[in-house]
A and B are shown apart, each in its own frame.
Chain A
Amino acid sequence: DGGITQSPKYLFRKEGQNVTLSCEQNLNHDAMYWYRQDPGQGLRLIYYSQIVNDFQKGDIAEGYSVSREKKESFPLTVTSAQKNPTAFYLCASSKWTGETEAFFGQGTRLTVV
């Protein structure tokens, strides 16, 4: 089945630790996105990528890093510089950046312990 997969579903991070969230798609989509969602809030764009080996900062990129070495994969690292990382993280992909519907993964809930 074609789709977009995020893992893990739940993730716990200790203070000062870096963690990496996985996002994989087999839809042959060029564009991929990472969003952060806080309780009862909308989605805020962290990073997005239109092609392999290229990515752009979104509205809240500080404390996060990404890579796009393969078309299928767009991992997000939450670094220790992100002071309030507890949130629900959503990855999405689309055929072209913003011009067609986006397909979302089921999300990763990150909690700092």
Chain B
Amino acid sequence: SQQGEEDPQALSIQEGENATMNCSYKTSINNLQWYRQNSGRGLVHLILIRSNEREKHSGRLRVTLDTSKKSSSLLITASRAADTASYFCATDWTSGSRLTFGEGTQLTVNP
């Protein structure tokens, strides 16, 4: 079964606005990762946050992790049309040692 679930399923914003995507998961994890997928391509790793971290930044990306609520959020600031893609969270179970993905959020940034 899928470990992570993203919310919203689809998000459409204007260039320059911020985009926030959320991910919820069910079991204890070692870390949570965010990936990006352009249509018809493979996934590209964006950022990894460990279970003992609460916030992490990388360029225009900000990720938060709340292990008490089993949730994470990805914030993309000052979005660009090139940010249009699907974004997935992935979790590594503490008991399973396997990487499982959510359903993804389709982000559209309009010029």
Contacts and interface: CB of A to CB of B under 8 A. Distances in A.
* Interface range on chain A (Cβ under 8 Å from partner): 20 to 34
Interface in B80-101: 88, 90, 92-93, 96-101
A79 B46 CA distance: 34
A40 B9 CA distance: 10
B14 interface: no
A44 B100 CA distance: 7
Contacts of A59: 1-2, 100
Given A41-B103, A101-B48, A90 B42 contact: yes
A2 interface: no
Contacts of A100: 48
A102 B99 contact: yes
Given A42-B103, A43-B101, A98-B30, A103 B92 contact: no
A20 to B, nearest CB: 19
Interface string A19-38: 00000000000000101000
B93 A98 contact: yes
A94 to B, nearest CB: 7
The interface centre, meaning the residue of B1, B31, B42 with most chain A CB atoms within 10 A of its CB, is B42
A12 B38 CA distance: 23
Interface string B36-63: 0000111111001000000000000000
B48 to A, nearest CB: 6
Interface stretch (A61-69, A70-78, A104-112): A104-112
Contacts of B1: 59
